[in-house]
């Protein structure tokens, strides 16, 4: 099964609504690796790696997010960033 690594930028009401924590839970449940963090401009950034089908499932979930979130846009690009270990929540960046 082929692996896929994507970089994702999520815009909308995605901070202060448990988007990062929910993303971590969902990613771990799907057996994915990578990270998620808030950005200073109000977006959420993530890098996700795993089996292509699981990554696709994760991206579909990220279009909605947790109940309090209001996702307006998802920018997805393929990346070759090295990703290892478990999925984690990182501190604010960018």
pLDDT for residue 28 is more than 90: yes
Average pLDDT score over the chain: 96
- State the residue for tokens 């969902």: 26
87, part of any domain: no
12: domain CATH number is 3.30.70.100
pLDDT tens column, 36-68:
999 999 999 999 999 999 999 999 999 999 999
Please list the active-site residues: 20, 38
Residue 93 within any structural domain of the chain:
no
List, for residues 66-82, the tens digit of each pLDDT value: 999 999 999 999 999 99
| Structural tokens at position 39 | 């950005």
Q: Is the pLDDT of residue 16 over 90?
A: yes
Domain membership flag for residue 31: yes
Is residue 9 within 8 A of residue 63, CB to CB? The reply is no
Containing structural domain, residue 26:
3-81
Quick one: pLDDT at residue 94?
79
Does the residue 52 lie in any domain?
yes
């Amino acid at each position: 099964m082929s692996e896929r690594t994507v970089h994702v930028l999520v815009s909308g009401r995605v901070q202060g609504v448990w988007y990062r924590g929910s993303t971590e839970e969902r990613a771990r449940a799907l057996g994915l690796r990578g990270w998620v963090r808030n950005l200073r401009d109000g977006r959420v950034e993530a890098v996700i790696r795993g089996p292509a089908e699981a990554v696709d499932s994760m991206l579909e979930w990220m279009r909605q997010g947790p109940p309090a979130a209001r996702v307006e846009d998802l920018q997805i690009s393929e990346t070759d960033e090295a990703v290892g270990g478990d999925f984690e929540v990182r501190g604010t960046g960018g």
